[in-house]
Amino acid sequence: MGYREIYEGWKADPEGFWMQAAEAIDWERKPSRALDDSRAPFYGWYADGTCNACWNALDRHVEAGHGDRLAIIHDSPITGTRASLTFREARDRVARLAGALAAKGVGKGDRVVIYMPMVPEALIAMLACARLGAIHSVVFGGFAAPELAVRIDDAEPKALIAASCGIEPGRVVAYKPMVDQAIEMSRWKPDFCVILQREQAEATLVEGRDHEWHAFQEGAEPAPCTMVGGMDPLYILYTSGTTGQPKGVVRATGGYLVALEWTMRNIYAIDPGEVFFTASDVGWVVGHSYICYGPLVRGATTIVFEGKPVGTPDAGTFWRVIEEHEVRSFFTAPTAFRAIKREDPQAEFLAKHDISSLRYLFLAGERADPDTIEWAQRHLKVPVIDHWWQTETGWAIAANPVGIELLPVKPGSPTVPMPGYDVQILDEAGNPLPPNTLGAVAIRLPLPPGTLPTLWNADERFRSAYLDTYPGYYATGDAGTIDEDGYLAIMARTDDVINVAGHRLSTGAMEEVLASHPDVAECAVLGIADPLKGQVPMGFLCLNRGSTRDHDEVIRECIALVRERIGPVAAFRNACVVDRLPKTRSGKILRGVMGRIVEGRDWKAPATIDDPAILDEISESVAGLRNKPD
Ligand code: COA
Ligand code: AMP
């Protein structure tokens, strides 16, 4: 069957489609039905089934006689080390950690925050929580202590699992002091911490609260899998919204396992025993779905890559990994390819490696520009598949399902909606728009299995953020088009979220930090086009009336403040001081026209502007910035 028949088959009988897909995972008790619409517009899936994510990721493959297959490969060019774990070894290590956590009182429904770099122990920790039915919440290592504290307060974890440090090119990032600072700042205090000591920066442990990773597990009884309900949460993953308070995306267990299994076959075309390589981070949704759960649930080998696309040691590092581990499908963000292309435009490093094992390259996380796709296609000589999704959905909304059939690639389009997603382009009033007309991208409810049922402890916020804008639809926050062949194009966000090197960040959160600077009266942060990172943030600061502070000094302080409060991942390096911000007569900041000015594009003062002269002032400030040496 081809894509069209499968998609139409789903549309005609969604219940039958998802009940059949559910056959691919192990259930303790099979669900009697797929969709639970008893609380619409809050939907759930496989409500009366019981299962366990760790069982599906590890134990079932060992039980089926595949215990000696590789489950996890750690390839760390940044530390010069490599290691691997078979499914049996991974299961045993996970069961032991789970046993130790259980002995300290962690059980079903308890939360555990994980703050770790790209080491296999990050996956072991996630799976150990899953084994107990505990809910993990992984926080990306590039976030600073206050961001970690906000997540601790929201998730109220019983335990926190961290590594002593992460390693970035040219510097060791000590994680443990940030953990200590976050716990100090947070209202909620975890009962205990488990710390993986890395030799690059050993952490000081707090007596009575902190336990060293190995000592903690010594003599622990391996824990069995605790079965959970299909709708019980597997994890909470915080993502940026319009304010400084991140949204806790909840992932329900049963639907997620079913959806991931389906995607591993039908989108990524991976069979059990094959090697899948996702170069991202466990702190992001891509890492949850396709470094941890997806490949393992499929019985495939996953690679935990600790390095960067360039500089660890060179722009050939991905090709080496693909050759060495015989990678079949490779998934990363377009920004990684832009970094490689910039460093090695003729792909000379590629010639040094045999990447003939590779069948497909998958890109997501930000818009894949046609240039990057074309470059990758020309040099890798495999189909380059752009696909579009978000933290909220957990898996692709639109993709080219190469496991079913390779549809013609249209550069600039993530191809077509996957079964489960009825995607519509709507105007402001919520009416569907004709083909090739730009509008808000919305998905008709219910969303499919694996997508968020709600936000953690925030049903009302879930409703107002996603469901209220277009009744009957989930608002994705993206704007785009659908052409006459049903191909989507995702063009921009409709909210204050920006995408920096594939990382999703909130300009609103940055504005909150800038506004807290004692000399800043008002501010705005915009996402500005950047050839490497897609977008970078830029701040406009209005200082308090009568302020005599040196502008450069205030800017430096503001940059440091964002790094301290949000983290280096925000990549906030540009700001300028302006007298006033351009606003509409109703007081809305005119971000669009400011962005055009900064990017050096044509601009025109909108009719609604309060005082057009402000735009000339902004233009002058930005020109001054361009002429300034770095
Ligand atoms: N822990 C601590 N700090 C981290 C970190 C982590 N896990 N990840 C990133 N940082 C820091 C970096 O060291 C850098 O700090 P600096 O300001 O001191 O240089 C800052 O956060 C920004 O990092 P990054 O976004 O990685 O930018 P970069 O300039 O170092 O590298 C790329 C640029 C394109 C090579 C890089 O962004 C990249 O590999 N992107 C891949 C995108 C990706 O995987 N996206 C995930 C979604 S699929
Ligand atoms: P995140 O939740 O971090 O995965 O970010 C999701 C957002 O990234 C989406 O809402 C889009 O704005 C953007 N995005 C992700 N993948 C793509 C893609 N393939 N094309 C265009 N935008 C994308």
Which one of the ligands is nearest to 386 CA?
2
pLDDT tens-place string over residues 493-538? 988 899 999 999 999 999 999 999 999 999 999 999 999 999 999 9
pLDDT tens-place string over residues 568-587? 999 999 999 999 999 888 88
Ligand 1 in reach of 333 Cβ (< 6 A): yes
Of ligand 1's atoms, which has the minimum distance to the CA of residue 171? Answer: 13
pLDDT tens-place string over residues 438-470? 999 999 999 999 999 999 999 999 999 999 999
pLDDT of residue 630: 47
- DSSP 8-state code for residue 233: E
Nearest of 570, 166, 622, 173 to residue 561 by alpha carbon: 570
Which one of the ligands is nearest to 364 CA?
2
Q: What is the pTM of this model?
A: 0.95
Model confidence at 179, pLDDT cuts 50, 70, 90, reads very high
- Domain 3-168+203-307+387-480 fold is Rossmann fold (3.40.50)
In sequence order, what are the residues at sequence separation of 6 or more whose Cβ sits closer than 8 angstroms to the Cβ of residue 371? none
Indicate which residue's Cα is closest to atom 5 of ligand 2.
Answer: 390
Mean pLDDT for 16-25 is 98
Mean pLDDT for 301-325 is 98
pLDDT tens-place string over residues 595-606? 888 888 888 888
388 in helix, strand or coil? Answer: strand
C-alpha dihedral sign at 187, 189, 194, 197: positive
On the 0-12 / 13-18 / 19+ scale of CB atoms within 10 A, 526 is: buried
Q: Given a cut of 70, is residue 330 above it in pLDDT?
A: yes
Domain boundaries of the chain, sorted by first residue: 3-168+203-307+387-480, 501-626
Q: Given a cut of 50, is residue 276 above it in pLDDT?
A: yes
Nearest of 259, 231, 267, 229 to residue 18 by alpha carbon: 259
Distance 569 CA to ligand 1 centre (A): 6
Distance 70 CA to ligand 1 centre (A): 28
Place of tokens 């639970």: 36
DSSP 459-494: HHHHIIIIISSSTTEEEEEEEEEE-TTS-EEEEEES
Q: Given a cut of 60, is residue 425 above it in pLDDT?
A: yes
From CA 173, how far away is CA 213, in angstroms rounded? 19
Of ligand 2's atoms, which has the minimum distance to the CA of residue 386? Answer: 19
Q: Given a cut of 70, is residue 361 above it in pLDDT?
A: yes
Distance 224 CA to ligand 1 centre (A): 37
From CA 380, how far away is CA 350, in angstroms rounded? 8
Ligand 1 in reach of 537 Cβ (< 6 A): no
Q: Higher pLDDT residue, 598 or 20?
A: 20
Residues in contact with ligand 2 by the CB-under-6-Å rule are: 239, 285, 364-368, 386-388, 390-391, 414, 476-478, 490, 493, 499, 504
What single-letter amino acid sits at 166?
G
Indicate which residue's Cα is closest to atom 9 of ligand 2.
Answer: 390
pLDDT of residue 628: 59
Distance 145 CA to ligand 1 centre (A): 17
Q: Which of 361, 372, 490 to mutate to test the pocket of ligand 2 (most atoms within 8 A of CB)?
A: 490
What integer best gives the mean pLDDT of the chain?
Answer: 96
Which one of the ligands is nearest to 369 CA?
2
From CA 364, how far away is CA 102, in angstroms rounded? 37
Task: Return the bridge partners of 66, or none.
Answer: none
Percent of the chain with pLDDT over 90: 90
| Contact between residue 119 and residue 307 where contact means Cβ atoms under 8 Å apart | no
Q: Given a cut of 90, is residue 608 above it in pLDDT?
A: no
From CA 252, how far away is CA 160, in angstroms rounded? 21
Ligand 1 in reach of 116 Cβ (< 6 A): no
Q: Which of 388, 391, 418 to mutate to test the pocket of ligand 2 (most atoms within 8 A of CB)?
A: 388
Q: 7-21, 69-83, 390-404, 612-626: which has the minimum mean pLDDT?
A: 612-626
Element (H, E) at 580: none
Q: Higher pLDDT residue, 396 or 492?
A: 396
Which one of the ligands is nearest to 165 CA?
1
Q: Which of 249, 291, 478, 495 to mutate to test the pocket of ligand 2 (most atoms within 8 A of CB)?
A: 478
From CA 480, how far away is CA 466, in angstroms rounded? 17
DSSP 268-334: S---TT-EEEE-S-TTSHHHIIIIIIHHHHHT-EEEEE-S-SSSSS-TTHHHHHHHHHTEEEEEE-H
What count of other Cβ atoms lies within 10 Å of the Cβ of residue 594? 24
pLDDT of residue 613: 86
- DSSP 8-state code for residue 350: G
pLDDT tens-place string over residues 202-245? 999 999 999 999 999 999 999 999 999 999 999 999 998 877 78
What count of other Cβ atoms lies within 10 Å of the Cβ of residue 445? 18
- DSSP 8-state code for residue 432: B
- Domain 501-626 fold is GMP Synthetase; Chain A, domain 3 (3.30.300)
Indicate which residue's Cα is closest to atom 15 of ligand 2.
Answer: 365
Model confidence at 621, pLDDT cuts 50, 70, 90, reads confident
From CA 565, how far away is CA 568, in angstroms rounded? 9
Distance 283 CA to ligand 1 centre (A): 12
Same fold, 3-168+203-307+387-480 and 501-626: no
Ligand 1 in reach of 127 Cβ (< 6 A): no
What count of other Cβ atoms lies within 10 Å of the Cβ of residue 375? 18
Distance 355 CA to ligand 2 centre (A): 28
What single-letter amino acid sits at 242?
T
